[in-house]
Structure 1
Amino acid sequence: MKHLILLVTVVFSFSCSSPFHKKETADSRDTVATKRITLLFAGDFMQHQKQIDAAATDSGYDYQDCFSQVKEEVSKADVAIGNLEVTLGGEPYGGYPGFSAPDEYMYAIKDAGFDVMTLANNHCLDRGRAGLERTIHVLDSLKVPHVGTYLNTEERESKNPLLIQKNGFRIALLNYTYGTNCLKVCKPNVVNYIDRNEILRDIKKARAKNPDVIIACMHWGTEYQSAPDAEQTDLANWLFAHGVNHVIGSHPHVVQPMEMRYDRINKQRHILVYSLGNYLSDMSEMKTDGGVMFKMEICKDTTVRVEKCGYSLVWTSRPKHSGEKNYKIIPASSPREELPFWAANRLKLFVKDSRMLFATHNKEIKEYAF
């Protein structure tokens, strides 16, 4: 790497409407040793009491079946990133409002193919200092990189932003939350809150690492609202103006629109996902029982660019209506005839509502099936 520090310009070769399942057509860039990396983002990993009860076994807890229908797709990605919106705070385990999930939950998440977890969210302090620190220790023991909460300022200084190095790429990952449900972080622990001065310092620090792209995962927005609020839009504009390439959002517990933006001054295109929705939860109100997985393939030769991107809808099936023991993430493309009537109907409603929202408000970002 050269000593000259700059943010690499990201150039899109074509619209992100290109689906992933189609074969690529070779172009002249392939002769210049094109490097590729696929990133996948999933929304809120929740763990309500009914989920904990459903996963209980005679010897502990088993969550493997929850991810059985998405594991193959997640594992295809070079780097899969999820928002762990619970603590691994130890016993007594519990759901809302003080989330603490069994360690087996994280074991299953890793086994499903997830590589990195974002931790800065409004539930990261649900079990206080002990819960925050134990969560970090469990992830470290599993060798799962994480970003957003830290044992102390020294750890934050050395690990923030998180630099992901794979396939010849350097991806700088940032993560911030709007708050922690009025719970105060206890020293020496650190939580990345949305503070523009702090974020600006982190962006400058990220640039010094000479990244190919900088991605900010933001825990923001208004719960249960399908449209982004003014603060989200303003902050997204600010992040892009100060050097962030892509912004991926969580927290509202419903999906929100996605955009591909073009910056004519810097000749850059930016991906903006306002909310990925819920990935796995016991939320049952309309629009809260599912979410999306968002995938982008970044290529690098003479330029760095997003070659393809898109979203895939997923929905959570609950034991009460599926007749199965555990909760399970169901892809939108799953055959409806394999589901009980109630489950098939709720899946249909979630997919219909989400597709209508995206068809109306998405900008150049399409759905893909797996």
Structure 2
Amino acid sequence: MKHLILLVTVVFCFSCASTSPKKEAHDRDTTATKRITLLFAGDFMQHQEQIDAAATDSGYDYQNCFSEVKEEVSKADVAIGNLELTLGGEPYAGYPGFSAPDEYMHAILDAGFDVITLANNHCLDRGRSGLERTIHKLDSLKVPHVGTYLNKEERESKYPLFIQKKGFCIALLNYTYATNGLKVREPNVVNYIDKNEILRDIKKALAKNPDVIIACMHWGTEYKSVPDSAQIELASWLFAHGVNHIIGTHPHVVQPMEMRYDRINKQQHILVYSLGNYLSDMSESKTDGGAMFKMELCKDSAVRVEKCGYSLVWTSRPKHSGEKNYKIIPAASPREDLPSRSSNRLKIFVKDSRELFATHNKGIDEYIF
């Protein structure tokens, strides 16, 4: 995990462990071009089969799950993932009431992820105690997180989440469409999709004059490979009211991505409708993988997207691979030693995903690592 320093103020500051004097001087020069790389991953899940596979005599071991993507994730200046479960403590369980072992979170951080989004339909799976324990655990690990809060005062002081690194100030927003019929109990707060609330949050973010505002939206229709009308309408509304980029999760399948350009305001907008599953036990067609999305922002006289792209990932399962644990595989350049059952399933996922993106993506292509 990249070294993080948590400030007492509302700003979360990321600090590199070894910064040269030359680099520091470069960052202080406001006329110099600055660059930052952001990486986003989809849904981190823990079904019962995953929990069982990770069990050891002394606890749970998830390190191998991320071994083939760790280098790529760690290269990003800021890596962000959606924790679609609670760290609610024992008894650990998968669907429908997710509570994962703490070791899972440790492995996610060890893989290089820096920021966790929590506003999703499973954040209340263990009720108030699960929501609060998840927050306390992340706080104890000094992990910036966004989307759920112990109370209104905490939300007011910590939201939006401002990320400052490499001369950039990035405002991060996070909302969910619902929480599976479970109601949040006071004093806890969950960020639901509510335009009035979102508009207030955008205005609060704009008051800090960030370089970009990124909204992580948990939305859409499960298992549907194209965005529904509510996603399409809300995306345009968010852009019209000040959000620069949108990264979506929830449908458990990948959905199209777009690069838009607002000619009136001369702004670029990245729109990723859904990144699909990052690590899960879902095995139905198109749910057995997902995508990582990477963007490089550049700032001199203005802020722009220098380059961006997606990379497909797929989950290898013990019952097909013969290995003990689940593992995320770079789908575009998989290991040559994958068993035929795994290899064939991976190829189907890649074929389906590429056909979808070739048809619907606008200005965003695949990159291979």
2:304 pairs with 1:310: no
2:298 alignment partner in structure 1: 299
State the alpha-carbon separation in 1 of the partners of residues 334 and 206 from structure 2: 46
Letter in 1 for 2:317: R
Letter in 1 for 2:220: G
Higher relative contact order (CA 8 A, sep 6+): 1
TM-score, L = length of structure 1: 0.91
Native 8 Å contact 2:53 2:326 kept in 1: yes
2:95 pairs with 1:96: yes
Pairing of 1:92-131 with structure 2 (within 5 A): 92-131=91-130
State the alpha-carbon separation in 1 of the partners of residues 30 and 54 from structure 2: 50
1:249 alignment partner in structure 2: 248
State the alpha-carbon separation in 1 of the partners of residues 355 and 30 from structure 2: 41
Native 8 Å contact 1:44 1:280 kept in 2: yes
2:49 pairs with 1:50: yes
Native 8 Å contact 2:253 2:286 kept in 1: yes
- Measured against aligned partners, the alpha-carbon deviations of 1:308-348 in whole angstroms (never above 9, x if no partner) come to 10000000000000000000000013345310000000000
- Measured against aligned partners, the alpha-carbon deviations of 1:267-298 in whole angstroms (never above 9, x if no partner) come to 11100000000000000001000000000000
SS, match of residue 349 in structure 1: helix
Pairing of 1:70-219 with structure 2 (within 5 A): 70-219=69-218
1:261 alignment partner in structure 2: 260
2:88 pairs with 1:67: no
SS, match of residue 133 in structure 2: helix
TM-score, L = length of structure 2: 0.91
State the alpha-carbon separation in 1 of the partners of residues 42 and 280 from structure 2: 10
Native 8 Å contact 1:336 1:344 kept in 2: no
1:367 alignment partner in structure 2: 366
State the alpha-carbon separation in 2 of the partners of residues 306 and 70 from structure 1: 24
Letter in 2 for 1:363: K
Unaligned stretches of 5+ residues in structure 2: 1-28
SS, match of residue 288 in structure 1: coil
Give the paired residue count: 341
SS, match of residue 354 in structure 2: helix
Native 8 Å contact 2:33 2:299 kept in 1: yes
Pairing of 1:273-288 with structure 2 (within 5 A): 273-288=272-287
1:20 alignment partner in structure 2: none
2:326 pairs with 1:330: no
Native 8 Å contact 2:332 2:350 kept in 1: no
State the alpha-carbon separation in 2 of the partners of residues 57 and 72 from structure 1: 25
- Measured against aligned partners, the alpha-carbon deviations of 1:114-145 in whole angstroms (never above 9, x if no partner) come to 00000000000000000000000110111110
Point out the more displaced range, 32-41 or 285-294.
32-41
Native 8 Å contact 1:80 1:116 kept in 2: yes
Letter in 1 for 2:148: T
Letter in 1 for 2:139: D
1:18 alignment partner in structure 2: none
State the alpha-carbon separation in 1 of the partners of residues 139 and 80 from structure 2: 16
1:14 alignment partner in structure 2: none
Native 8 Å contact 1:118 1:175 kept in 2: yes
SS, match of residue 138 in structure 2: helix
State the alpha-carbon separation in 1 of the partners of residues 31 and 173 from structure 2: 30
2:345 alignment partner in structure 1: 346
Displacement of 1:31: 11
The alignment-based identity, stated in percent, is 86
State the alpha-carbon separation in 2 of the partners of residues 253 and 173 from structure 1: 22
Letter in 1 for 2:155: R
SS, match of residue 336 in structure 2: helix
2:34 pairs with 1:35: yes
Letter in 2 for 1:245: N
SS, match of residue 179 in structure 1: coil
Native 8 Å contact 1:43 1:83 kept in 2: yes
Unaligned stretches of 5+ residues in structure 1: 1-29
2:11 alignment partner in structure 1: none
- Measured against aligned partners, the alpha-carbon deviations of 1:244-282 in whole angstroms (never above 9, x if no partner) come to 000000000000000001111111110000000000000
Pairing of 1:1-12 with structure 2 (within 5 A): none
Native 8 Å contact 1:48 1:95 kept in 2: yes
State the alpha-carbon separation in 2 of the partners of residues 171 and 267 from structure 1: 19
SS, match of residue 193 in structure 2: coil
Letter in 2 for 1:166: K
Native 8 Å contact 2:333 2:368 kept in 1: no
Letter in 1 for 2:51: I
Relative distance call for 1:335 and 1:81 in structure 2 (3 A) is closer
Native 8 Å contact 1:82 1:114 kept in 2: yes
